[in-house]
Amino acid sequence: MISRTFFRTIAIGVGVAALSFTGTSIFTHAQQPDNTAANKQQAPTADQQKETAADRELAQKIRKSIVDDKSLSTYGHNVKVIVRNGTVTLKGPVQSADEKKNIGAKAAEVAGGANKVQNDLTVKS
């Protein structure tokens, strides 16, 4: 009599073989996000966020404003908000031009004016 463990072992082996055959391995490292190259070409990047209390607080308020807006897509909720010396940079993909405009307006409202916001959001095609 063949045990259930035997069948489980066979099923796992077949699954791993199928993944290997398609050129995909479950053991490979995750790919880098597709906008990494674009982020490196344009300044500032998220790792350049200033650690001053005022910049952190401004970034937090803008992020809360964006996340609280349930009309935004998942892309919109996940944009990068970078604040350096009171100047806000928005980066990342969004679903539409209206969403880009809406997020930019939220950031400008919190930051104290559109002149303090650089809207580098890109519309996903």
Question: In which band, very low, low, confident or very high, does the pLDDT at 74 lie, cut at 50, 70 and 90?
Answer: very high
pTM: 0.64
Preceding amide of 44 cis, omega within 30: yes
Identify whether the C-beta of residue 86 lies closer than 8 Å to the C-beta of residue 57.
no
H/E stretch holding 120 reads strand 117-123
* Domain map (residue ranges) of the chain: 35-123
35-123, CATH topology level: Alpha-Beta Plaits (3.30.70)
Model confidence at 110: pLDDT above 90: yes
Reported as a single tens digit per residue, the pLDDT across 36-65 is 665 555 556 655 666 789 999 999 999 999
Compute how many other C-beta atoms are within 10 angstroms of the C-beta atom of residue 45.
Answer: 15
Average pLDDT, the chain: 79
